[in-house]
Structure 1
Amino acid sequence: MNPSTLEKPPLQKPTAPQSSAAPPPRAIAPQVHPADEVRLIAWARAFIYVWAVAWFLLISADPDLWGHIHFGQSIVEQGAVHQTNPYSYTAEGYRWINHEWLMEVIFYGIYQVADSTGLILAKLLLSLHIIHLLSGLHFARTRNVTVYLALFLLAIPAMSAGFMTRPHLATFLFLTWMVVALHKFFDGNQRVLRWLPLLFLGWVNSHGGVVAGLGIFGLIVFIEVVRGWNSGERAPRLLAATFAACCLAVLVNPYGYRLWVFFYESLGQERIITEWLPVPLWSADFIQYKILAALFVLSWFLPTKKRIWEIVVLTVALVYGFKHQRHTVLAVILLLPYLSMQYGHTLAKLDVRTHYMRLSHHFHWAAQAVMLTFMIFFLINRGQQFADNHYKIWVEASIYPTYAADFMQANGLDGNVAVPFDWGEYWLWKFPDSKISIDGRFRTAYPQRIIDLNRAFAEGRPEGRKLLTEFPTDLVLTARHEAAHRTMEHQPGWVKIYQGPISKLFVRTSEPPHPAWQRFLAGDLIDPGRTPPYAFPG
């Protein structure tokens, strides 16, 4: 038989000789040593925390900060919240629903101990705590450093504009606590729900944003109860019971059910305030928020599991964020846990850790030195701005009527003062013996007629003159960006006694004339001619 006609056996790959040596690095994915991973995550988190300090260390005074401290002091001294408005001559005796009373007491306490420096540091610690909680939630679900850095580098600037020293910081904090608790619950930890009624008890006494919190929680409960109606799951029933307990908790406040009647009547009405305006769509404003919203829409097409309640709640939150600028921060807090899980799992292979660990230790040290340099630069830059104002909140003379207030104090003037909306609480702090026409408490302390009347006056409309004829207005303070700044120059029965960089002060000459008019005619009014302090309270 011809050997060439025999069927040849199939070719086999030569077997590699057995060896105890490890396979070449390219044969398997590089492994990250646990200690190296912990170190890299720690560096990433430290960088994000410093990034947060750079963005959240805003030192400009909020228009209502003076009032919050003043009201907190009043609550402490009288041992109760005000039931009516004692600070305005246009709405004296009108009911006052102070839904921020607890935060105002806290603000007053911090201010008494550490001045406005303490308020800035307290705000900074609160914001870092929020970032810390959201960072912890990210790394509890995915170790992806790349996604973490990308999302938080976008989210922090998107949130920063809302982090003024105001009671709404409480809503940011309580919302974060609620979000973290709910995500832990859906990840299997059912015990965290026991804290939610206590959370809502604190929330309802700190800020009106509790309405958003209860609405978000209620929507989640509704979706989960409907989804698990026939499944017999225990989780939806537990959620519903907890929500019922939270609804009872929010009735424990100085006003009881009347607080919720006020919320119902007030929140549906129009608010002509900057933070309640919509986000402009076709501009670079709020660009980080818009990118995060685009990432949410893109996530719909990712091959990952999604919870129905997350899609519904986040869609609603984003719509409200675009509808009202003040809601963008709430939307970002809700977005971060969802986006970090979706993109962390989808882009698991696109992670800096495995590539970074291949590099030499010398490169690691160099990279860490660069990060440390940037972190030090951010801290020095913000610290220098803080130091320039002696570590106090900044009261800018280009925003607030500090020169006019100095003139009033130098001449010992007081009386009922018609003021621009944003200056009301600054003025009542500077002149506690005077009363004002309007301030930032808005519908919590003023009827709609008075709000509309002050707005008409500021806009120079004829009906606004009723503020001068129907109420005992003694002085008028005008802002250069309002029409009243010009119309008062020609107002019968009034004369200008002072003009500063951004304001004018007018006094009544018609019956009953203010005593300052005679002093003005006699040349007895003096202009201090000094620069008011920029440090809070100004």
Structure 2
Amino acid sequence: MMQRLTIERTLTIVLFILIFAIAARIPVDTDTWWHLRSGETILQSGFIYTDPFSFTMQGQAWIDHSWGAQVIMSLFWNVGGYLGLTIYMAGLATAGMIFVWLACTGNGYLRAFAIVLGAAAAAVFWSPRPQMISFFLSAVILYLLLDFQRGKRDRLWFIPVIMAIWGNLHAGFSIGLILMAALIAGETMGNLFAPNREPKVSWRGVRKLCLIFVVSLAAICINPYGLQMLTVPFQTVGIGALQNFIQEWNSPNFHERQMLPFLALLFLTFGAAGASARRLTWTDFLLYSGTAYLALNAGRNVALFAIAVTPMLTHYANSVLEERSWVLRPQRRVTRMMAIANVAIIVLVGLGAAVKVLAVMTPQSVREALALTLPVAAVEHLNSERPPENLFNSYNWGGYLTYFAQDYPVFVDGRTDLYGDSFLTSAYLNTALGGEDYAAVLDQYGINTLLIETGSGLANALKASPDWEVTYEDDMASVIVRRTPLVGQGEADG
């Protein structure tokens, strides 16, 4: 049995161990924390139907589209703390890339090259949030669809079951629908415009795909919010403030080195398809161009592009290599000594990965990492000194405050679908920038305390005002308190 542990298989195992180690990182994303708070609330009190975390939207209807993933995250957090969240994220990232690898073609060396490229492109946007479940399930759905398209196995009826589960985990279920729609449209166009070209899905297969799509739509609606769940993706992408002010919804910045793997995947796949004698299929064209558009429009979609295009790269690159007889023939067996050496390599890499993961999860390392992007010390000051409510906070820290300053309902956090464009732009952004009428907004919402960025327009304006006092300040955050609290705004209750 050990003699089947060839260099190719060893490389594959080592590759996924390294992907896990790379994906294991300290959770510094502010949105992680409101998701955790939601998960804990659901575990304690049941499903959430109205906003329980802010004072600006408290009691308003809210579709918690990630409720299932939030519960899972909370369980990992309750059992393992920061390490638990890290395992959640790294496990889903690795599992997703395994399904991408299964969807690839060619020998292990070509697959490994493509997976490294795809993982490097996607890793920029891996974070311990419900979207990691969508990353994993997107890879699973694509694998099932490509298996059907290539005539290998017909397991399409797994898809509605997966979509029913996905509809209770994250609004990224829309990705599954997009992938199905791309295959349906691509194979329809293939049958219409290239009827004699093989391989392609027959008309009967296209009809089955359409049926699976419709059943999947119905399956998504089996959730605590019913049909309303289908509207969430449209509500989210329709919020202009996302594209204008939130980094992950902006177009990628190609001046950053972390975008190089995405560019390499983009151009290498294009080049491989052009160099191959294999004709580009309509489905591949739609998947490539569609996911490229989404990725170029919003950086967070680079991960989807990596899932969809990595198998495509191997498909056409393998064709190029075979046409030129440049294919390395994989070993089927190795000597006993070589097998022992391969086992030793796997064990050593595994131990190294474990040490890396545990080393970055020490309390000191966690605190230092969090303090680089989140107002850890300022929140500690808030909790100890307990200035009066209501609190105006930076959008960038709303999620963190939701979990670590639970006595203070937030002004705003990452739930953009709840707050909407009007509130985010007029009530929040105009005020946060110290724009016209910021004082009126602070009065309107009864703001007595602010936790905002040091040096921001609003912070500078309030420092110059005799009505406000800075009670805490560091290089990142300032806590600013109204000298004479507005009537009816007492201290936060314990």
Match of 2:86 in 1: 120
Alignment of 1:205-244 (within 5 A): 205-228=168-191, 233-244=203-214
Which secondary structure does the structure 1 equivalent of 2:57 belong to? Answer: coil
Alignment of 1:29-40 (within 5 A): 39-40=6-7
Q: Is 1:483 the equivalent of 2:457?
A: yes
Match of 2:385 in 1: 411
Query: Shift of residue 269 of structure 1?
Result: 3.2
**2:319 and 2:365 mapped to 1: Cα distance?**
43
Q: Is 1:59 the equivalent of 2:26?
A: yes
**1:131 and 1:407 mapped to 2: Cα distance?**
42
Match of 2:473 in 1: 499
**1:200 and 1:360 mapped to 2: Cα distance?**
45
**Per-residue displacement from partner, 1:64-110 (whole Å, max 9, x unpaired)?**
1221111111112222222x223222222322121111111111122
Query: Shift of residue 475 of structure 1?
Result: 0.7
Change (3 A) 1:146 1:200: same
Query: Shift of residue 131 of structure 1?
Result: 2.2
Larger radius of gyration: 1
Query: Shift of residue 264 of structure 1?
Result: 2.8
Work out which of the residue numbers 31, 35, 43 in structure 2 matches 1:76.
43
Which secondary structure does the structure 1 equivalent of 2:326 belong to? Answer: coil
Match of 1:337 in 2: 311
**1:357 and 1:460 mapped to 2: Cα distance?**
68
Match for 2:482: what amino acid?
R
**1:426 and 1:221 mapped to 2: Cα distance?**
42
Size of the aligned set, in residue pairs, is 476
Work out which of the residue numbers 139, 151, 158 in structure 2 matches 1:188.
151
Q: Is 1:106 the equivalent of 2:82?
A: no
**Per-residue displacement from partner, 1:323-375 (whole Å, max 9, x unpaired)?**
21100001001111111122123214434556x89999999988997887677
Work out which of the residue numbers 244, 247, 260 in structure 1 matches 2:230.
260
Match for 2:6: what amino acid?
R
Change (3 A) 1:446 1:492: farther
Query: Shift of residue 315 of structure 1?
Result: 1.1
Match of 1:162 in 2: 125
Work out which of the residue numbers 446, 449, 453 in structure 1 matches 2:422.
449
Change (3 A) 1:229 1:343: closer
Match for 2:472: what amino acid?
Y
Query: Shift of residue 313 of structure 1?
Result: 1.5
Query: Shift of residue 163 of structure 1?
Result: 1.3
Q: Is 1:133 the equivalent of 2:99?
A: yes
Contact map agreement 1:224 1:309 (CA 8 A) in 2: yes
**1:481 and 1:183 mapped to 2: Cα distance?**
52
Which secondary structure does the structure 2 equivalent of 1:162 belong to? Answer: coil
**2:483 and 2:117 mapped to 1: Cα distance?**
56
Which secondary structure does the structure 2 equivalent of 1:398 belong to? Answer: helix
Match of 1:197 in 2: 160
Change (3 A) 1:371 1:194: closer
Question: Greater share of helix residues, 1 or 2?
Answer: 2
Match for 1:384: what amino acid?
A
Query: Shift of residue 471 of structure 1?
Result: 0.9
Q: Is 1:251 the equivalent of 2:233?
A: no
Change (3 A) 1:350 1:425: same
Q: What TM-score do you get using the length of structure 2 for normalisation?
A: 0.87
Query: Shift of residue 217 of structure 1?
Result: 1.2
Contact map agreement 1:418 1:477 (CA 8 A) in 2: yes
Contact map agreement 1:61 1:393 (CA 8 A) in 2: no
Query: Shift of residue 56 of structure 1?
Result: 0.6
* Paired-residue identity, %: 18
Query: Shift of residue 116 of structure 1?
Result: 2.5
* Unmatched 5+ stretches in structure 2: 196-201
**1:176 and 1:309 mapped to 2: Cα distance?**
16
**2:138 and 2:27 mapped to 1: Cα distance?**
24
Match for 1:115: what amino acid?
G
Q: Is 1:43 the equivalent of 2:42?
A: no
**Per-residue displacement from partner, 1:416-470 (whole Å, max 9, x unpaired)?**
210000211221222323211100112x221333211211122221233333121
**2:333 and 2:218 mapped to 1: Cα distance?**
56
Match for 2:268: what amino acid?
L
Match of 1:468 in 2: 442
* Unmatched 5+ stretches in structure 1: 1-33, 517-538
**Per-residue displacement from partner, 1:228-286 (whole Å, max 9, x unpaired)?**
36977321111111111111112222222223334334413321200011112455440
**1:60 and 1:264 mapped to 2: Cα distance?**
28
Q: Which stretch of structure 1 is more off in the superposition, 374-383 or 428-437?
A: 374-383
**2:127 and 2:255 mapped to 1: Cα distance?**
26
**1:255 and 1:359 mapped to 2: Cα distance?**
56
Match of 1:28 in 2: none
